[in-house]
Amino acid sequence: MLKRITGTFIDGVAADIPSNNWGAEEWALQFDEFKRMGIDTAIIIRVGFQDSAMYKSDVMKTTLYAEPDLVDVMLREGERTGIDIYIGLFDTLNYWLKNDWDNEVGINTELIHEINERYGKRKAFKGWYMCHEGSLQTHPHRIWKPLCQTIHSFDSVRPIIVSPRYHGPKYSQHPVPPDVHAKHFDFLLGEMEGLISAYAFMDGHVHFKDLPAYVKATAEVFKKHGIAYWSNLETFDRDMPWRFPPIEWTKLRFKLETVQDYVEKIISFEVPHFLSPYSMYPSAHTLYKRYMEYVEARE
């Protein structure tokens, strides 16, 4: 049976895509659509970004924040629909990009405790997300490891997931080939042993013709370590001259088919903007139609 998209990120703070400006009513409609699509997992990619946040936080102290509390809205919808909610952290877009791990870790350590105090008893809160995507240059385990250890110090139940990238030519002028990528993650998985439950790889930073080789090499490393390998199927198009329109259907289909035999779960960045009949982008409405026609024909 075809593995369809069963998880999505939720972009609650505008970062590199514009806001849908949805309130509780619009999010309720979207969560109902998640259920129709077969989505069982929604991941708040970050509760804060630079100077904006999804709620008024004593830790993040952002100038801009949502009212009412958008995290609460997501948890309420998760509880209503039975969809698991994972909560991401705070991307300062400052310290960690300079390899100043201590300051990035420090503020997020405080935030982890704030999140647990505010939402720890909510039934839909089923996991944590490390929002610092990381790359070869930023040594992501320097951030992931202490933050995961902090979470595990009081929460041994909720899994932690992360979404790294294939370090390809659409990301860097110095792309890393599949074999070197595999060596890097062989090291990282050893460093992070027992701390992260699943890694969902962004699939948009490599050329389509090269994606199968990256997927195969990555799957072999994850099988060696016994860690869950997921796909973060990007439903936006990195090949356009502006950021970021919904992806062309043929590209989405190719990426969906490429990972079928290798990954345990397929999630997306992200359904509300790029694969929804309610999206601000008209082409997302028709992409949704093409996707649903395709998956329903194969069931």
Number of domains in the chain: 1
Q: Taking residues 122-131, what's their average pLDDT?
A: 98
Q: Would the pLDDT of 137 be above 80? A: no
Identify the band that residue 141 occupies on the pLDDT scale cut at 50, 70 and 90: confident
What is the average pLDDT value for the chain, to the nearest integer?
A: 96
Q: Would the pLDDT of 228 be above 90? A: yes
Q: Would the pLDDT of 111 be above 70? A: yes
**Amino acid identity, residue 191?**
E
- pLDDT for 96 equals 81
- pLDDT for 98 equals 86
Q: Would the pLDDT of 239 be above 80? A: yes
Identify the band that residue 30 occupies on the pLDDT scale cut at 50, 70 and 90: very high
Task: Classify the phi-psi angles of 100: left when phi > 0, otherwise alpha if psi is within -120 to 50, otherwise beta.
Answer: beta
Range of the domain at 10: 5-297
- pLDDT for 76 equals 98
Residues 219, 234: Cα–Cα separation, whole Å: 18
Identify the band that residue 135 occupies on the pLDDT scale cut at 50, 70 and 90: low
Alpha helices in the chain (DSSP H): 24-37, 70-81, 101-119, 141-154, 178-191, 211-225, 249-258, 271-274, 282-297
Mapped onto helix, strand or coil, the DSSP state of residue 129 is strand
The CA-based diameter of the chain, rounded to the nearest angstrom, is 50
- pLDDT for 18 equals 94
**CATH number of the domain enclosing 74:** 3.20.20.80
Q: Would the pLDDT of 258 be above 90? A: yes
Q: What's the pTM value of the predicted model, to 2 decimals? A: 0.97
Helix 211-225 to helix 178-191 angle (10° resolution) is 30
Share above pLDDT 70 across residues of the chain, in percent, rounded to a whole number: 98
Q: Would the pLDDT of 136 be above 80? A: no
More confident residue, 26 or 100: 26
